[in-house]
């Protein structure tokens, strides 16, 4: 038997409770509800990571950097926003709680 001096890094992806985006200091939980009437663009994902931790800006654990956020006609963005999917459709994200950056 031989010995090895090789170090291995133990890095794993986080197992988040749900898919989310962060916008304007709040976590918005992604739903399966489609949004038909968006209003205007209000932001985008600035940081994507599937690793546990807290990140500055508009962070997401599910959507890549550059994914657009929109307001929804008739709904306050304090309640929900729309997230643009790759297929050009939009999903509703419901505000859940304040996001705490480190």
List the domain boundaries for the chain: 20-98
**Residue-wise pLDDT tens digits, 18-66:** 899 999 999 999 999 999 999 999 999 999 998 877 788 899 999 999 9
CB of 14 within 8 A of CB of 61? yes
Rg (CA), the chain: 17
Residue 97 reports pLDDT greater than 90: yes
**CA separation for the pair 23, 43 (Å, rounded):** 7
- Averaged pLDDT of the chain: 85
């Amino acid at each position: 038997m031989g010995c090895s001096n090789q170090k291995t890094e133990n890095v794993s992806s986080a197992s988040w409770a749900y898919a989310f985006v962060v916008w304007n200091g709040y976590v918005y939980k992604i739903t399966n509800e489609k949004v038909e009437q968006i209003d205007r663009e209000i932001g985008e994902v600035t940081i994507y990571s599937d690793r546990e931790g807290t990140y500055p800006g508009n962070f997401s654990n599910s959507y890549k950097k550059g994914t657009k956020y929109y307001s929804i006609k008739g709904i306050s963005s304090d309640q929900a926003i729309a997230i643009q999917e790759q297929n050009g459709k939009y999903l509703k994200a419901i505000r859940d709680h304040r996001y705490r950056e480190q």
